[in-house]
Structure 1
Amino acid sequence: MFSVDQETISSSSSSSSPSPPSTKHPVKYGELIVLGCNGSLPCGDKGRRRSRFALSRRNKSNGVKPSTMHTTCTPQAAKAISNKEQHSISYTLTRGQTVVVEYTHDNNTDMFQIGRSTEPPIDCVVTDTVSGALTATDSQSVQSTISRFACRIICHRSPPHEARIYAAGFDSSNNIFLGEKAAKWRTSEGQMDGLTTNGVLVMKPDQFTESRPCINTPGQFTEPRPCIKSPGLWREISVCGNVYTLRETRSSQQRGKMVDSESNQLIDGCLIDLCGATLLWRTAEGLSDTPTTKHLDALRLELNAGRPQCPVGFSTLKFPSLNRKDILDAKQPWAYLKCGHVHGYHIWGGRRNPEVEAECRERECPMCRTKGPYVPLWLGCEAGFYVDSETPTHAFVPCGHVCSKETAAYWSRVLLPHGTHTFHATCPFCVAPLGGENGYVRLIFQSPLD
């Protein structure tokens, strides 16, 4: 886990479910990590607007499950919609026909809601992620494409604590409304289902099982467990949690084909795309296999202890501390990302301003004469994006974020949704589109001559 101040989502609900015995460390279901935030939001993590959300068992359960369906405008249906204590989903078929599905309290589950809205029902407030944003102003989008009530995650309070995702979230009146233009239909069982305007997409990674050492307890080996292997296929999740192939375009009214063989259960490494921001789901078990901030900092100090030198200026290079991850330092390592040779900042080629240099991003390497992007190197600080705990030896192209080889190789194969129907690989630390031959490059450090 990342050792920054994290807000555990455990707000109380109006349910009368008895509280479990209080524990010093509440049961954690997992964490949601926003891609493009290298450890924190540009404006800082505050309240429900964060780069990382811990989902833990609530003091009182607030989960809901479907109950009664009303196919006509009956008094009971009208009461379900108007009653703010009653959860319901309304499917508008025509101006004169609306199907209302009542939901009832579920003592066995906890519900967490995600969206752009700052209203109380939303536990995780997510805004559009802008590549390269360094300030709150940079991260502001002209018009957000993230739904105000985008999705909800239902977690079982008892082991093994399954987490399942559903499109759309309940508003302040505990209602979900699917208007006439929303994609909706009756299932083969006669139940209603539908999709949100821009959809909720989920990608489950392929996994394999192996015995791995517990990173947070050095020397201790755990039982065989699933490990992230390679990216899977993107699917769309419906309001009722069914799985479908992608629509032709993001907001098409024609749904994809139902995938009966797959479920809406989240596994370690799942990606959730909300059309404007992408979240990574890490289970509590999966987090025990990821490096901590302390471990990442130890790797940084180990790199610096090797005293890498600039082969031009012969100055000693140092990666800045993790809390200065966006501030250029005089000893900052720079690299030619076409060949991977690491230098300090120098004026080879005539430019004298590192801020201007970072914008130009094209230089000839004095070591091998290869021309390519020339950028400062930044250590990837968000531990949840790492697939192992090895030494940072590779950098993403063209942003220059540094991580382990396996981490770089994995994310270079992950194609994230972009626009209405395209996909491209991005750096998880800043969501910059990847370029070059592989999307990343092995760094070549110059050892000290003495």
Structure 2
Amino acid sequence: MVLEGSSEALCPPSSLELRPSCNKSQPSPPLSSSSQPHDGVFPEDKEPVKYGELIVLGHNGSLANGDKGRRRSRLALYKRPKANGVKPDVIHNVSTPLVSKALSNKSQHSISYTLSRSHSVIVEYTHDTNTDMFQIGRSTESMIDFVVTDTVGSSSSSSSQGGGAAGEGGGGGGQSAQSTISRYACRIMCERSAPYTARIYAAGFDSSKNIFLGERAAKWRTSDGLMDGLTTNGVLVMHPAGEFVSEPAPGVWREISVCGNVFALRETRSAQQRGKLVENESNTLQDGSLIDLCGATLLWRTPAGLRHTPTLKQLESLRQELNAARPQCPVGFNTLAFPSLAQREIVDKKQPWVYVNCGHVHGYHNWGYRKEKGPAGPGGTAPASTGERECPMCRRVGPYVPLWLGCEGGLYLDAGPPTHAFCPCGHVCSEKTVVGWSQIPLPHGTHAFHAACPFCGTWLTGEQGYIKLIFQGPVD
């Protein structure tokens, strides 16, 4: 449920404040003539501070329909020319008739906690000159800095709950009413002074600068007399157990409250009973922190962490090195070549294919089907495709898929050579990257977790979830 105020909205985020990633690890449209960076705001010889970057898992470098404005697979958060952060100020205990009046002030940010039909607590927020605020959700309204929609194959497909709290519900932002991502899902507050700490909070402010938690939303009064609550489907966060790039290891999934407190997960995603407070953990984002919005999962990368990842230019160089080695099909002896990054998802006739259970790389061929695995195909020429083939090199049976180079550099844990592939999707990247992501359980549905390929979102299979590629070099 959302309290809809007037149509008056916050001014659109300036392109001076948010813009596509500048480390060129993904293709991005050029800045328009109206969005020249830093013009008249920052000194010409001084780059603005970058707090970090958000990358949506399951998109290999760009959205399927292309990155457009605030709706994209990756966005960098920069220090704003002028602070727009807010912090709690005054608390009001009011009766219901006064709620609409208290929330009608469009210049005042506030969070309303409805305790009963006759009692609400409204916390007014005041301007904070020390922080910048960035909001994330599926709404396309101007106060949302990063528009995120459901990722195919993510938790949206099996989550049974949607809408109802913290600005969630149907009809907003022009997105599907079936989405389980809140219109105003969460907000990130970044300190404007070093070390530029970034913290995440559940729920974002709507067009009336309000966050509204209805009667059914989980909410409570804290020990110090303040209020706190959870959104319907929750905002989950997992910080890495160690340094993301040096010792990648998954941490524990937690839920973040509206006030930024950390809790153990609820029994199910939308249960009304909150989990236990985790006092020794915080909502501070670190390199490799994952944010799950129940329909899409975002990765937070810091500028320091991104320095260890390959740029788009480096990925292209790695691709050319692979092709320069002239790998050949061990049966057909034809030379294989990875297609250009711009042609990803389009199968080329020289495309390398792999048997994911053994790692032997071949060119495409139409044999090796296990006939007992499925009925004959059209015309009786071959069994229907079941994905099960027998490798002619080692006789291992399993899926046979084309190989694709991972094009989103921000998902890499290092800039190592692309020697391994995720199973069963065939996305190729460095060994450290496949090992790291194969250990991370990603939320799915209301209470399930599965390791998945970060480039496409496919659940990983096999003993490890990845395979070392076995190429055959040229015979001449």
Same fold per TM (> 0.5)? yes
1:414 corresponds to 2:433: no
- Structure 2, gaps ≥5 residues long: 1-22, 36-40, 155-174, 370-376
Shift of residue 229, structure 1, vs aligned partner: 2.2
Amino acid at match of 2:448: T
Q: Which residue of 2 aligns with 1:4?
A: 27
1:154 corresponds to 2:177: no
Aligned with residue 173 of structure 1, among 208, 226, 233 = 208
CA contact (8 A) 1:228 1:269 kept: no
CA contact (8 A) 2:96 2:119 kept: no
Q: Which residue of 2 aligns with 1:311?
A: 330
1:265 corresponds to 2:278: no
Q: Percent identity?
A: 68
Q: Which residue of 2 aligns with 1:29?
A: 51
Shift of residue 72, structure 1, vs aligned partner: 2.2
SS at match of 1:303: helix
**Over aligned residue pairs, what C-alpha RMSD do you find?**
2.6
Shift of residue 23, structure 1, vs aligned partner: 6.0
CA contact (8 A) 2:368 2:392 kept: no
Which structure 2 residues correspond to residues 100-139 of structure 1 after superposition, within 5 A?
100-131=122-153
- Distance in 1 of aligned mates of 2:113 and 2:295: 25
Amino acid at match of 1:344: G
Shift of residue 286, structure 1, vs aligned partner: 1.1
Kindly tell me: are residues 20 and 44 of structure 1, through their superposed partners in 2, closer, same or farther at Cα, counting changes over 3 Å? closer
Instruction: Describe the superposition over 1:43-89 as per-residue Cα deviations: whole angstroms up to 9, x where unpaired.
Output: 00001100001100111110000000001249986554111110000
Q: Which residue of 1 aligns with 2:109?
A: 87
Q: How many aligned residue pairs are there?
A: 418
Q: Which residue of 2 aligns with 1:218?
A: none
Q: Which residue of 2 aligns with 1:58?
A: 80
SS at match of 2:242: strand
Which structure 2 residues correspond to residues 274-289 of structure 1 after superposition, within 5 A?
274-289=293-308
SS at match of 2:309: coil
- Distance in 1 of aligned mates of 2:310 and 2:384: 30
Instruction: Describe the superposition over 1:274-293 as per-residue Cα deviations: whole angstroms up to 9, x where unpaired.
Output: 00000000011111121111
Instruction: Describe the superposition over 1:221-276 as per-residue Cα deviations: whole angstroms up to 9, x where unpaired.
Output: xxxxx745211000000000000000000000000000110110000000000000
Q: Which residue of 1 aligns with 2:461?
A: 435
Which structure 2 residues correspond to residues 154-303 of structure 1 after superposition, within 5 A?
154-208=189-243, 227-303=246-322
SS at match of 1:445: coil
Shift of residue 358, structure 1, vs aligned partner: 11
- Distance in 2 of aligned mates of 1:352 and 1:315: 28
- Distance in 1 of aligned mates of 2:378 and 2:335: 19
CA contact (8 A) 1:92 1:178 kept: yes
- Distance in 2 of aligned mates of 1:387 and 1:37: 17
Scaled by the length of structure 1, what TM-score is found? 0.88
SS at match of 1:114: strand
- Distance in 1 of aligned mates of 2:29 and 2:211: 29
Kindly tell me: are residues 183 and 75 of structure 1, through their superposed partners in 2, closer, same or farther at Cα, counting changes over 3 Å? closer
SS at match of 1:206: coil
Shift of residue 360, structure 1, vs aligned partner: 3.5
- Distance in 1 of aligned mates of 2:206 and 2:134: 12
Amino acid at match of 2:341: L
SS at match of 2:76: strand
SS at match of 1:302: helix
CA contact (8 A) 2:153 2:458 kept: yes
Instruction: Describe the superposition over 1:173-228 as per-residue Cα deviations: whole angstroms up to 9, x where unpaired.
Output: 0000000000000111110000000000000002249xxxxxxxxxxxxxxxx745
Amino acid at match of 1:199: G
Q: Which residue of 2 aligns with 1:385?
A: 411
Q: Which residue of 2 aligns with 1:214?
A: none
Scaled by the length of structure 2, what TM-score is found? 0.83
More strand by share: 1
- Distance in 2 of aligned mates of 1:240 and 1:271: 18
Kindly tell me: are residues 352 and 325 of structure 1, through their superposed partners in 2, closer, same or farther at Cα, counting changes over 3 Å? farther
Q: Which residue of 1 aligns with 2:18?
A: none
CA contact (8 A) 1:342 1:444 kept: yes
Aligned with residue 368 of structure 1, among 394, 408, 420 = 394
- Structure 1, gaps ≥5 residues long: 13-18, 133-139, 210-225
Shift of residue 4, structure 1, vs aligned partner: 2.6
Kindly tell me: are residues 357 and 430 of structure 1, through their superposed partners in 2, closer, same or farther at Cα, counting changes over 3 Å? farther
Kindly tell me: are residues 307 and 35 of structure 1, through their superposed partners in 2, closer, same or farther at Cα, counting changes over 3 Å? same
Q: Which residue of 1 aligns with 2:341?
A: 322
CA contact (8 A) 2:96 2:120 kept: no
Amino acid at match of 1:320: P
- Distance in 1 of aligned mates of 2:390 and 2:182: 45
- Distance in 2 of aligned mates of 1:408 and 1:109: 36
CA contact (8 A) 2:26 2:407 kept: no
